[in-house]
């Protein structure tokens, strides 16, 4: 596992725990991802509960491979890179719902499906013709014909559509931290952007993965911990396929341009934290 892959997994574990915490705030408290091992017992319990819920055939092995609290402290405080394959699979199952191999099999399959068949075919033909010194106008015409045939017979990529925010709803009073929910068709991720209705800053929220049935949910934050934000009116909007890459916590000065966007939901920040 590379450091870059570990960093992405580390962030996905945090997001997954935050989602579980918002769903069960009385059971899972906030975790400060620091060097103190004791706090990570809550993360261990969350992982165990999720693994059992998935109903994996090898659940017992996965549960047995949940990292110790000391290992978690090293992962999040010392940027430790996991090496044990069983522990890696357990973390993948929790954060992404698949083992590491399964996750990359899906990714590789999607990449392969998006490759045109004329790409490798053309490469092989050019290689053969170059080797024998027989590149001719006829060969070029055949290749061009194959490309046109593929382009006309390949089904068009379905565009994302139907992006809506189901929760929260307009004019509702919300805590600082909450789960946003919604639906979209033909999309894999959704970005939420929140702004103070009377300010010019737009705050990018954590990226949200879309489920197989088109539903999505993820944590968002309305304002800060400052009590002065209580009563603030905030606008929430969802986006798919942003024109420029977005980063969690990024501050913008306008709504981002994107392939698809939802309508604006306006809420009022209440006194509760979550």
**CB-CB neighbours of 207 under 10 Å:** 16
Number of structural domains found in the chain:
3
Last residue of a domain, which of 72, 105, 138? 105
Q: What's the mean pLDDT in 23-46? A: 90
**Same domain assignment for residues 137 and 231:** no
**Same domain assignment for residues 18 and 71:** yes
Q: What is the pLDDT of residue 109?
A: 59
**Same domain assignment for residues 95 and 174:** no
Residue 112 within a domain: no
Q: What is the pLDDT of residue 81?
A: 92
pLDDT digits (tens, 9 = 90+) for 241-260: 999 999 988 999 999 999 99
Supply the pTM of this predicted model. Answer: 0.51
Q: DSSP string covering 126-159, please?
A: HHHHHHHT---HHHHHHHHHHHHHHHHHSPPPPP
**Same domain assignment for residues 147 and 168:** no
Q: What is the pLDDT of residue 101?
A: 85
**Same domain assignment for residues 149 and 172:** no
**Same domain assignment for residues 46 and 7:** yes
195: domain CATH number is: 2.60.40.10
Residue 274 within a domain: no
The secondary structure element, H or E, covering residue 78 is none
Going by pLDDT thresholds of 50, 70 and 90, the confidence category of residue 107 is low
Q: Is the dihedral of CA 187, 193, 197, 200 positive or negative?
A: negative
Range of the domain at 256: 161-269
**Same domain assignment for residues 64 and 37:** yes
Q: What is the pLDDT of residue 227?
A: 86
Structure tokens at 44: 């261990």
CB-based contacts of 156, cutoff 8 Å, min separation 6: none
**Same domain assignment for residues 8 and 101:** yes
pLDDT-above-90 percentage for the chain: 50
Among the residue ranges 1-10, 74-83, 127-136, 184-193, the one predicted with the least confidence is: 127-136
Specify whether the CB–CB gap between 101 and 20 falls below 8 A: no
- 3-state SS track over 225-239: CCHHHCCCEEEEEEE
Structure tokens at 55: 């109903």
Q: What is the pLDDT of residue 231?
A: 93
Specify whether the CB–CB gap between 185 and 162 falls below 8 A: yes
Residue 111 within a domain: no
Q: Which alpha helices (H) appear in 36-175, and where do they start and end?
A: 41-54, 59-64, 69-77, 85-96, 100-114, 118-132, 137-153
**Same domain assignment for residues 166 and 220:** yes
Instruction: Return phi, psi of residue 93, to 5°.
Output: -60, -40
C-alpha dist (Å) from residue 158 to 33, 154, 210, 214: 40, 12, 16, 14
**Same domain assignment for residues 212 and 149:** no
Residue 34 within a domain: yes
**CB-CB neighbours of 108 under 10 Å:** 10
Reduced DSSP (H G I as helix, E B as strand, rest coil) percent helix, strand, coil of the chain, to 5: 40, 20, 35
């Amino acid at each position: 596992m590379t450091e870059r892959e570990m960093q992405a997994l580390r962030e996905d574990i945090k997001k997954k725990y935050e989602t579980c915490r918002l769903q069960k705030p009385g059971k899972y408290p906030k975790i400060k991802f620091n060097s103190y091992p004791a706090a990570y017992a809550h993360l261990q319990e969350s992982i165990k509960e999720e693994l059992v819920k998935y109903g994996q055939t090898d659940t017992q092995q996965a549960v047995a491979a949940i990292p110790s609290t000391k290992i978690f402290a090293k992962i999040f405080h010392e940027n430790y890179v996991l090496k044990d394959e069983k522990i890696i699979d357990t973390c993948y199952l929790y954060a992404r719902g698949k083992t590491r191999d399964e996750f990359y099999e899906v990714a590789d399959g999607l990449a392969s499906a998006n490759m045109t068949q004329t790409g490798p075919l053309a490469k092989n033909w050019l290689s053969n013709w170059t080797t024998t010194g027989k590149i001719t106008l006829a060969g070029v015409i055949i290749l061009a014909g194959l490309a046109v045939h593929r382009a006309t017979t390949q089904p068009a990529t379905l565009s994302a559509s139907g992006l809506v925010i189901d929760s929260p709803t307009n004019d509702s009073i919300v805590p600082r931290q909450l789960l946003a929910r919604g639906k979209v068709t033909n999309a894999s991720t959704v970005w939420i952007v929140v702004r103070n209705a009377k300010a010019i800053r737009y705050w990018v929220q954590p990226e949200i993965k879309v489920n197989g049935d088109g539903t999505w949910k993820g944590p968002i934050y309305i304002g800060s911990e400052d009590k002065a934000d209580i009563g603030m009116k905030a606008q929430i909007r969802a986006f798919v396929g942003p024109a420029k890459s977005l980063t969690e916590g990024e501050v913008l000065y306008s709504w981002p341009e994107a392939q698809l966007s939802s309508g604006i939901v306006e809420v009022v920040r209440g006194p509760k934290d979550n």
